[in-house]
Structure 1
Amino acid sequence: MDDMDFRLKKFLSLDEEEKRDIEEVVNLCSPNLTNVPFGERLSVACDFCDREQDVLRLWSSEICDSPPNYGFDVTIYVMYLLILIIAITGNSIVVYVVGSSIKMRTVTNYFIANLAVGDLCMAIFCLPFSFLSTLILKYWPFGSHLCVTVNYLQAVSVFVSAFTLVAISLDRYLAIIYPLRPRMTRFQAKVIISGVWAFSLLTTLPIVIYSKLMMPGVNFYRYFGREVCTEDWSSNPSSGAAYSVALMVLQYFLPLAVLVFTYSRIAAVVWGKTHLGETPARANRVARSKKKTIKMMVTVVLVYTLCWLPFNTLMVIRGILDIDNWPHMLYVWAFFHWLAMSHTCYNPLILFWMNTKFRLGFYCVAHKLPCFRSLVDGFVSKLHESESLRVNTSNTPDGSCSPQVDTSLKDDNVFFKGHKTSQKNKSLPPYNYKRSSKAFGETNQ
């Protein structure tokens, strides 16, 4: 039921005296619309009449309220709360796993950690504010400073995610297409990450300038002092449209073109390359490991593409056509916005699913929580039986996680054994893995 039908239904439920009062106000507010159906005239009076006292009479009688949609509200709360919890928990664990283990501080993992930091910024500083103000309250209650900050950080976070994915693809491209060239160092990776953040912060600066609180020309906002947080390009609309197109090209289409090119070339080389001078067993292990890495990163790229394409397309259409008054626009916007925001929680799930080292890192973090220790022990052992793995996560006296891992050649990703901590040597960190004879870390997932 739309606003007009809901308001007309409420009007018809009033007693005769109240109906006469409402009709008087509607006639005063719409004297030139006598041939228009009463329900439409009532909505015009509620939303656009400039007779303040008369409009306040309508609103005080609750005749101008919008229809409640409890199913939609509950669904939206659950969906956004779910991705908020997963995003903050998962990305925090990714950053912790990379930062707490020397073995995990590789070039690719630095980029993955940077992805997690960008997603954390989005989840913490942007997602709750945009969700509450747009879908629940329908106005911005958080002040002008947070309006600018949230809009800015959201744009920065999207740029950081896109160009970090580009950096990862270029690193993989150079390593596989030109294997004899020197590999990127961790220092160079840090410089590139700094450059990604600097580029993102500078490119999105116009959003800081043009983001502000505005009062739409609807009575709900005008007479009750409600404002919305938006970008105001009214002084230069052509520049606003050009900047929106430029942002979409830089943030979406350009990175997507680079990712498609690099991973297409990588796939052609990895799947068709012969390994001269290597034993067949070692060549197969290296090839399988590289394929797993490429599959994981392609999955990350596909998820990014599918999450952001609908919302970006909707924003472009809104900039060209006036579709905000379409009856189902709220539901379309809510779903596309949720899909874009849900991207913040997928990368940790992909890492857990497709990367053994990160998966063990997640296990160790969970194992430090007493309520999850027995669950982790049982789950890990069952999970790896089919992979010819034997994993024992011992519950040491100091409560640390010290996995003992044995593996067969069926799994090319785990070539190490963990140290067991004891009362005599409590200083060993949970992630103090040593290289085995099968070269732990040789395959950089």
Structure 2
Amino acid sequence: MIFKLFLYNTYFLVFIIGIIGNILVCWVVFRHPSMRSVTNIFISNLALSDILLCLFAVPFTPLYLLTYKEWIFGPIFCRLVPFVQGMSVYISVLTLMSIAIERYMVIIYPFKKHLNIIHSVIIIIIIWLLAFILTLPYGIFIDLIPVPQTTTSTSATKLSPSRHQQQQQQQTQYQYLMYHQNDHFYNETISSSSTTTTKSTLIITDDEQQQQQRSIETLKNLLQNLHKRKWYCDEVWPNDQLRLLFGLMTTIMQFVIPFCIITFCYTKVFLRLWYRMHNRLGLRNYSSQRQWLEKKRARRTNMMLIFMVVIFVISWLPLNTYNLMEDFYIPIAYWKHSRALFMTFHLIAMSSTCYNPFLYTWLNDNFRKEFYTIFTSIMHRLQWFLYRKRQKTTNQNNRINNDDNDNNNNNNAIDINRGDITTGVGRNMVWKQSTFGGGCVGGSNSGRLVPKDNLELQESLFITSLQNGILASHIIHNNGQLIN
């Protein structure tokens, strides 16, 4: 129970952090043209694949294996959810491989023509098409399978050969029952049985008639209980050889080949940067210092990319190894703790969707500045929302307490300063409601008219005051009495 509660809470945190963090990454890249470099375009594509994983993998898996222990989301999602999961993994690893190759070309061959934004977009389109093609068999050979009456649950995502044969038999029984569920066939069976019973009363004995009736009742009960059975969503391959071949191909394409390419590229990049840095370490003029700073910045960028690859491998290697063991080692599917082991590995894999935004924040100056700007803007707008809500509540209470003095409400003022309460115009920022529905905002004794219903301008002035260190906190009545 404690372990299950831990999994639920961790999955929830992964979902929230993964969605918010990766959306912010995409927002920063596409909102600011200065951030649209080739590497950042690839990083935003990686964030988009993580968002897909958070939407299709994080919620469904714990509900399927922990809560209901059966598939309750229908046949469409049975095919869609695993297909999107596999496609997202391919997009992630192929994007990481593209980033590594791009960094390799920039560092090792600095004088050659490099990729531009258009090239990166074309590569991303190719990545998505390739991921779709490579995952398509997984979306085809997966279906709803009736839960065997002698077993309680399923704990893995791939089938062992014995489970495969068992599920083929169950699917055959399911198709047979669905065929017998046809109304015409069912009515024909009932009518023919009744006719035979009527016409052959003198021939069929009572025992044979009762046995025939029991067979009909058994068929009716099977059809009635068909929709009450539990189902699980799993792979159903035509034969074991095709299933094993696909599993081996997936491992090679998702991990072995990309890992070898990424390791080669970043090893060469690291050695080249290390060689350049040590050769220029003795130079002390300004130009060399500037070049050294540029190399240091490049090294930090490459360290960020290396951390991304390492985290991806650590996150996905356990789950991939588990799937391979289940394909080639039958008893793991029947181990008592196989479900707990699978859920642990799956959670580790899903947690990779949370790591990338933190890497961008700590190791990339541009992302860190943009994230800080976004969070500051969100906090200011939240303060403005709370301020408007408090102001609205205060005005409502004021109208209730002063029903006889409604006309005097036009003299209310909002004083925005550094903590001083004032009723005059000569402070940092004052807005005084006037009889013609406007206001006066200014420093000294001058200002500009602010329409009373222009909330956007009021919000802008409010946020500006927060950025300047001025706190908007007091609402003053015309006689100087604090009413908020």
1:90 positional shift: 0.2
Paired amino acid for 1:267: F
Query: Could you tell me which residue of structure 1 aligns to residue 353 of structure 2?
Result: 344
When residues 398 and 190 of structure 1 are mapped into structure 2, their CA distance, relative to the original with a 3 A threshold, is farther
When residues 398 and 252 of structure 1 are mapped into structure 2, their CA distance, relative to the original with a 3 A threshold, is farther
Paired amino acid for 2:337: H
Matches within 5 A, 1:195-234: 195-219=126-150, 224-233=228-237
When residues 290 and 323 of structure 1 are mapped into structure 2, their CA distance, relative to the original with a 3 A threshold, is same
| CA offsets 1:273-319 (integer angstroms, 9 cap, x no match) | 24699822112111101110111000000000000111110110111
Query: Could you tell me which residue of structure 2 aligns to residue 142 of structure 1?
Result: 73
In 1, the alpha carbon distance for the partners of 2:67 and 2:95 equals 33
Paired amino acid for 2:359: I
Give the gaps of 5 or more residues in structure 2: 154-169, 171-224, 384-458, 469-484
1:373 positional shift: 7.7
When residues 238 and 102 of structure 1 are mapped into structure 2, their CA distance, relative to the original with a 3 A threshold, is same
Matches within 5 A, 1:412-431: none
Query: Could you tell me which residue of structure 2 aligns to residue 361 of structure 1?
Result: 370
1:368 positional shift: 2.1
Confirm or deny: 8 A CA contact 1:396 1:402 kept in the other structure. Answer: no
Confirm or deny: 8 A CA contact 2:108 2:269 kept in the other structure. Answer: yes
1:330 aligned to 2:261? Answer: no
Paired amino acid for 2:27: Y
Query: Could you tell me which residue of structure 1 aligns to residue 452 of structure 2?
Result: none
Q: State the aligned residue count.
A: 314
1:301 aligned to 2:297? Answer: no
| CA offsets 1:116-175 (integer angstroms, 9 cap, x no match) | 000001101222112210122111100010010001000000000000001101110000
Matches within 5 A, 1:394-405: 397=461, 399=463
When residues 254 and 359 of structure 1 are mapped into structure 2, their CA distance, relative to the original with a 3 A threshold, is same
In 2, the alpha carbon distance for the partners of 1:402 and 1:352 equals 24
Confirm or deny: 8 A CA contact 2:97 2:261 kept in the other structure. Answer: yes
TM-score, scaled relative to structure 2: 0.62
Structure with more helix by fraction: 2
| CA offsets 1:92-117 (integer angstroms, 9 cap, x no match) | 00000001001101111000000000
Specify the SS of the correspondent of 1:368.
helix
1:101 aligned to 2:32? Answer: yes
Matches within 5 A, 1:69-80: 70-80=1-11
1:325 positional shift: 2.0
Confirm or deny: 8 A CA contact 1:296 1:350 kept in the other structure. Answer: yes
Residue number among 176, 181, 185 corresponding to 2:107 in the alignment: 176
Confirm or deny: 8 A CA contact 1:366 1:373 kept in the other structure. Answer: no
Residue number among 282, 305, 328 corresponding to 2:290 in the alignment: 282
When residues 206 and 371 of structure 1 are mapped into structure 2, their CA distance, relative to the original with a 3 A threshold, is same
When residues 125 and 398 of structure 1 are mapped into structure 2, their CA distance, relative to the original with a 3 A threshold, is farther
- Mean CA deviation greater in 241-250 or 224-233: 224-233
Query: Could you tell me which residue of structure 2 aligns to residue 316 of structure 1?
Result: 324
Query: Could you tell me which residue of structure 1 aligns to residue 164 of structure 2?
Result: none
Paired amino acid for 1:229: C
Flag the structure with larger Rg. 2
1:215 positional shift: 1.4
| CA offsets 1:212-267 (integer angstroms, 9 cap, x no match) | 1111323458975111111111x211011001100111011111110000000000
Matches within 5 A, 1:4-23: none
In 2, the alpha carbon distance for the partners of 1:323 and 1:297 equals 35
TM-score, scaled relative to structure 1: 0.67
- Mean CA deviation greater in 158-167 or 322-331: 322-331
In 2, the alpha carbon distance for the partners of 1:139 and 1:131 equals 11
Give the gaps of 5 or more residues in structure 1: 1-69, 375-394, 405-445
The alignment-based identity, stated in percent, is: 30
When residues 361 and 337 of structure 1 are mapped into structure 2, their CA distance, relative to the original with a 3 A threshold, is same
- Mean CA deviation greater in 139-148 or 358-367: 358-367
Paired amino acid for 2:33: I
Query: Could you tell me which residue of structure 2 aligns to residue 383 of structure 1?
Result: none
1:85 aligned to 2:16? Answer: yes
1:242 aligned to 2:245? Answer: yes
Confirm or deny: 8 A CA contact 1:115 1:164 kept in the other structure. Answer: yes
When residues 400 and 202 of structure 1 are mapped into structure 2, their CA distance, relative to the original with a 3 A threshold, is farther
Alpha-carbon RMSD across the aligned residues, in angstroms, is: 2.4
When residues 325 and 353 of structure 1 are mapped into structure 2, their CA distance, relative to the original with a 3 A threshold, is same
- Larger RCO: Structure 1 or Structure 2 (Cα < 8 Å, ≥ 6 residues apart)? 2
1:372 positional shift: 8.4
In 1, the alpha carbon distance for the partners of 2:117 and 2:47 equals 18
